[in-house]
Amino acid sequence: MLNPDSVGSTFAGTDSITVSQSEVDSFCAAIGESDTTIAPPTFTIRITLTQFEEILTRPEIGLDWSRLVHGDQKFEIFAPVKPGDELKCNATIESYRVAAGNEIVTVRSDLHRDNKLVVSAWSTLVVRA
Amino acid sequence: MIEVGANLPEKVFYLDRDLLKRYADASGDQNPIHQNEEFAVSVGLPNVIAHGMLTMALVGKYVSDFAGGSAKVVEFGARFTKPVIVPAGEKVDLTVTATVSEIADGKISLTLSATSAGVKVLGMAKAVVLQ
């Protein structure tokens, strides 16, 4: 179970993540996007979900990642992400509830480049009972 | 000239197990429910299912194509209502359409529809792009 005290808190992720051309290339190839100079709109899930897993499974937070399904997802993109970008990611646990034994947690992650917010992404994650 | 209420042309994407593997590698999401049928069935799924985020990425491609490039997409959200089921050796459809819901402040809002085998797989799917 998620520690309820963590709701409302913001957690820092890995110090800095560099977006490589090869990872943008392979993401673009999978969806048939020919322009590899810009990351496709959902590309940053590659960064944020990895960061969520690292953060949310910390012992003091306690989410069970093994029974997780993705409920919904939203991106707000303030500036396009490009290969070579160095991004910092943090995650805020915005809401948490338990319904029929399922844990439903909404996490917002903010990606910054040069201290400017470039993407906010909301993920609603459901840990099945 | 795009007007509110306009229906955008339908586009059909095809998903197969090979694409699921390529998306797993591209996204880093190696959950076996998207690759291993035995595992998927063991956790109560009908078969291997596509990553919800793969479905969303393909709908994102539809949005980028309409907008004139990925850089013009400023908002994109969806709820994962039903899984896209991908049996071995088959290509399954992801059929995408959209309606223009608003045009304001240099931005176009789209209400998106995504179905597979006639079943709606995304709910509340919306995007906002720069005009």
pLDDT per position as a tens digit, A4-45: 788 888 888 777 899 999 999 999 999 999 999 999 999 999
pLDDT per position as a tens digit, B6-52: 999 999 999 999 999 999 999 998 889 999 999 999 988 999 999 99
For A90, A103, B95, the CA distances from A4, given in Å and listed in that order, are 19, 11, 40
- Domain-embedded: residue B39: no
CA geometry: angle B10, B13, B18, nearest 5 deg: 175
Mutation for B interface: A28, A48, A75, most B CBs within 10 A: A75
| DSSP state, residue A79 | S
Mutation for A interface: B13, B17, B27, B130, most A CBs within 10 A: B27
- Domain-embedded: residue B74: yes
- Domain-embedded: residue B33: no
Among B105, B66, B17, B69, residue whose Cα is nearest residue A82? B69
- Domain-embedded: residue B2: no
A54 touches chain B (CB under 8 A): no
Among A5, A37, A74, residue whose Cα is nearest residue B127? A74
A76 and B69 within 8 Å at the Cβ level: the answer is no
Give the one of B13, B53, B74 whose C-beta lies nearest to A42's C-beta.
Answer: B53
Based on the structure, what is the number of domains in chain A? 1
A71 and B79 within 8 Å at the Cβ level: the answer is yes
ipTM value, please give it.
0.95
Residue A85 structural domain: 4-127
Helix (H, G, I), strand (E, B) or coil at A103: strand
Give the one of A31, A77, A122 whose C-beta lies nearest to B61's C-beta.
Answer: A31
**Cα distance between residue B108 and residue B128, in whole Å:** 6
Among B111, B69, B52, residue whose Cα is nearest residue A77? B69
pTM of the model: 0.95
| Residue B11 belongs to domain with CATH number | 3.10.129.10
Residue B65 structural domain: 7-15+50-130
| pLDDT in the model for residue B1 | 73
| Residue A110 belongs to domain with CATH number | 3.10.129.10
